[in-house]
């Protein structure tokens, strides 16, 4: 199986898992149950989890994955983003949808979805990332919402979720061009708030940046586990439970690893309280005169 075939296989699985997520997001359902069911669906398919399933509700835009004992229950009027990542031998497909349970925010959902489709229609070799950002931002603004200016899509690499090139959600002067063969995740976010996300107090997602000398045995054990099982892909704190460590030991180990720079934390990102954020995302492969969407 060559590189493109692995991307295509990851994309098919990711699309199925995303649509299962659409079905599972219902009032009264626990976010933890949804995340665990979707992650099991990925591993049962024979693929790997590229990052913890994100279930970000209302003003939370990204990086919310449930804790091991999370009690978040989906509400009747919640706007829920389900963000899924699948990899086959390190080749990643990243895709997301927004579920509006009240059906009162369909304009917001449509803004991010249409921005995604418009960007995909323009994506091909030679197009600059700034041009795509302009298309995304214009589409969302014309729908009456704010594009989230400090969140971006991203180039995908093998076992690397953010491989350097960013796809903005607003017009920029970035003239770097898309190149044939690139795998790119395009993910517009539309908001009823400020259109700027900030880091929250909760962090459940981490990523290994470097294997470094550490003093604590719990930190050392976590680092060895992460390097072996997750490599350079993001992982959830809850994944470490059941590996012979207590919650206290896990927290102490993670704290040391973040402080030494071994791990990068990914706090929950949110717009202003009371606002709503929608997200839509597909992964594409750039071609000479168009692109191939692998997560339809």
- 134 and 117 Cβ atoms separated by less than 8 Å: no
For residue 241, give every residue at least 6 positions away whose Cβ sits within 8 Å of its Cβ, in sequence order, or none. 68, 247, 250
CA distance 123 to 267: 30
Q: Which residues pair with 49 in a beta bridge?
A: 86
Task: Scan for tokens 């309280």, then name that residue.
Answer: 273
For residue 71, give every residue at least 6 positions away whose Cβ sits within 8 Å of its Cβ, in sequence order, or none. 30
- 237 and 69 Cβ atoms separated by less than 8 Å: no
Which residues have a catalytic role annotated?
A: 83, 94, 154, 162, 187, 281
For the beta carbon of residue 239, count every other beta carbon within 10 angstroms. 20
CA distance 106 to 266: 29
- The phi, psi pair for 259, rounded to 5°, reads -65, -35
């Amino acid at each position: 199986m060559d590189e493109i075939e692995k991307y295509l296989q990851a994309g098919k699985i990711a699309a199925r898992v995303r649509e299962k997520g659409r079905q599972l997001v219902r009032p009264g359902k626990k976010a933890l149950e949804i995340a665990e069911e979707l992650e099991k669906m990925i591993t049962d398919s024979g693929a790997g989890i590229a990052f913890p399933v994100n279930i970000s509700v209302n003003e939370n835009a990204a990086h919310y994955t449930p804790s091991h004992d999370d009690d978040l229950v989906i509400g009747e009027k919640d706007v829920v983003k389900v963000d899924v990542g699948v990899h086959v031998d390190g080749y990643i497909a990243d895709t997301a949808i927004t579920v509006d349970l009240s059906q009162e925010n369909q304009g917001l959902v449509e803004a991010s979805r249409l921005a995604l489709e418009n960007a995909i229609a323009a994506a091909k070799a030679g197009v600059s990332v700034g041009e795509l950002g302009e298309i995304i931002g214009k589409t969302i603004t014309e729908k009456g919402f704010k594009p989230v200016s400090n969140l971006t899509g991203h180039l995908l690499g093998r076992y690397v979720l953010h491989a350097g090139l960013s796809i903005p959600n607003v017009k920029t002067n970035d003239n770097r061009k898309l190149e044939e063969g690139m795998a790119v995740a395009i993910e517009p976010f539309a908001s009823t708030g400020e259109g700027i996300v900030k880091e929250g107090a909760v962090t459940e997602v981490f990523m290994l940046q470097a294997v470094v000398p550490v003093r604590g045995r719990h930190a050392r054990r976590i680092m060895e586990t992460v390097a072996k099982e997750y490599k350079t892909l993001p992982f959830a704190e809850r994944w470490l439970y059941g590996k012979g460590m207590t919650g206290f030991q896990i927290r102490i180990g993670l704290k040391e690893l973040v402080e030494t720079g071994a791990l990068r934390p990914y706090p929950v990102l949110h717009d202003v309280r009371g606002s709503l954020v929608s997200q839509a995302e597909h992964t594409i492969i750039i071609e000479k005169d168009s692109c191939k969407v692998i997560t339809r």
